[in-house]
Amino acid sequence: MSRPNTGGLRAIGDNMWELSVSLGADPATGRYRRRTRTYRGTERQALAELKKWRRDLLTVDTGPTDMTLGWVIAEHLDQLAIEGRSPSTLGEYRRLVRDHIPTPLTQLPVGELGVNHLDRLYRNLTARGLSASSVRHVNAVISGALTRAGRKGWLGQQPVNVARYATKPAKPSRRVRAPQTDSVRALYRAALVDETPERALCIRLLAETGVRRGEVCGFRWADLDGTSIAVVRNVVAVGPDHDAGVQASTNKTSKSARSRRVIVKALKVDRPRRIALSPDLLLALAVHRGRMEQRAEIFEMTLAGGAFVFSDDPDQARPWYPPIVSEFVGRLRRNHGIDEPRILHGLRHHAATEMLANGIDPAVGAERLGHSSTKMFLDIYADARPARDQAAADLLGEIFRGE
């Protein structure tokens, strides 16, 4: 049997490369086997990808296989976990597989999977009332698994990712409807009456900054300076058996927070940012810190070195469990008749739309909310600028009339 080589690299265009790996002779047929694929990137990146791809190919049996779609998806998700994909994201992927891919399909040998199988699956899911976004997420999980399978040689000598050719529902619009300012104010006033002061402050912080739920739970006092706060980490809820999880700060009045675990992780490389805070919000945070220091003194403790801004621990050493924010916001919405079904995430939309409506530079808005580009920010919130649009119309009218 011939020995596999180290692989080959051939330029086929501007920053386009053909990668090839020899797998030696097939032990069953004696025929020589080689895998090729294209890659876009610099030569250094292509060489690194070739090395990784060769290692993947040579660690599996690349001959004929009867491995099933379910096995390939499970292997793919396990690899995503090793690569550092968010536990909450992986949990959602597994839920989609469990709830929406029927057992007969998961038991189908992956080599027999065809476009017609996926077309039928997506038609059935749509007929059951699953949203277009969720159907597309199911396809994304299958497509990712098949792409990995092709790179590992599990789909034969000429791998085809059939999920790429399946008929999916149209991509939903990314534009959003933000809650009315009156509803946001009503939510904050309700929290002042029904909830603890720190929970009311949490709502105000979310509304004024537009940060995400996990980001606000990840704030530490050390992130604050005289005028701004650094957004550098995210608190993610994980299951009780997650190896890397730690016990969240537990409020005994919140049943869902008991025995729940979290991981505190850094944001993606292009998302950390520092955002300015209003003087009133800075003052509110200073008052909150004073209350927390007094609480720690009652327990004969001091705030921990890396104390979190929001914690039910006397020393604030552990962060809130993020779902408790959803709990008390949802409770306030129901108890006070606030007609905004998704108002928690809507606080983020409200911050974005108000910035746009009042003429704030979109680049500033994108930076504050942690979007990767101004274009993405504008695409999502393009419907939220009626006041500025009317001002533009009035200006152009005046120019036309010569005023």
Integer Cα distance of 394 and 388 in angstroms? 10
Query: How would DSSP label each residue in 142-165?
Result: HHHHHHHHHHTTTT-SS---GGGG
For the chain, which residues make up each domain, given as ranges? 8-56, 69-165, 181-383
Contacting residues for 74 by C-beta, under 8 A, at least 6 apart: none
CB 221 within 8 A of CB 307: yes
Residue 173 sits at φ, ψ, to 5 deg, of: -65, 140
Identify each DSSP E strand in 254-394 by its residue range: 261-266, 273-276
Question: Judging by DSSP bridges, how do beta strands 16-25 and 32-40 pair with one another?
Answer: antiparallel
CB 321 within 8 A of CB 311: no
The DSSP letter of residue 223 is G
pLDDT recorded at residue 63: 42
Integer Cα distance of 266 and 231 in angstroms? 9
At what angle are helices 362-369 and 343-357 packed, to 10 degrees? 160
Distance of CA 69 to the CA centre of its chain: 25
Residue 39 sits at φ, ψ, to 5 deg, of: -145, 140
pLDDT recorded at residue 399: 74
pLDDT recorded at residue 9: 86
What CATH architecture is 69-165?
A: Orthogonal Bundle (1.10)
Residue 175, token pair as written in the block: 């534009």
CATH superfamily label, 181-383: Intergrase catalytic core (1.10.443.10)
Integer Cα distance of 115 and 358 in angstroms? 48
Sheet containing 261-266: give its strands across.
233-238, 261-266, 246-247
Integer Cα distance of 101 and 251 in angstroms? 37
Q: Is 59 helix (H, G, I), strand (E, B) or coil?
A: coil
Which helix (H) or strand (E) element contains residue 139? helix 132-151
pLDDT recorded at residue 321: 92
CB 153 within 8 A of CB 35: yes
Q: What is the pLDDT along the chain (403 residues), one digit of tens a residue?
A: 334 455 788 888 888 888 888 766 555 455 666 777 788 888 888 888 888 877 776 655 444 446 889 999 999 999 888 887 877 788 889 999 999 999 999 988 888 888 999 999 999 999 999 999 899 999 999 999 999 888 877 776 667 888 889 998 887 766 667 888 899 999 999 999 999 999 999 999 999 999 999 999 999 999 999 899 999 999 988 876 666 678 888 665 555 555 688 888 888 765 789 999 999 999 999 999 999 999 999 999 999 999 999 999 999 999 999 999 999 999 999 999 998 878 998 899 889 888 888 888 888 988 898 888 888 888 777 665 555 566 667 777 777 777 6
Q: Where are the alpha helices (DSSP H) in 195-267?
A: 197-209, 213-217
pLDDT recorded at residue 3: 41
**23 CB-side CA count, 13 A:** 24
CATH topology agreement for domains 69-165 and 181-383: no
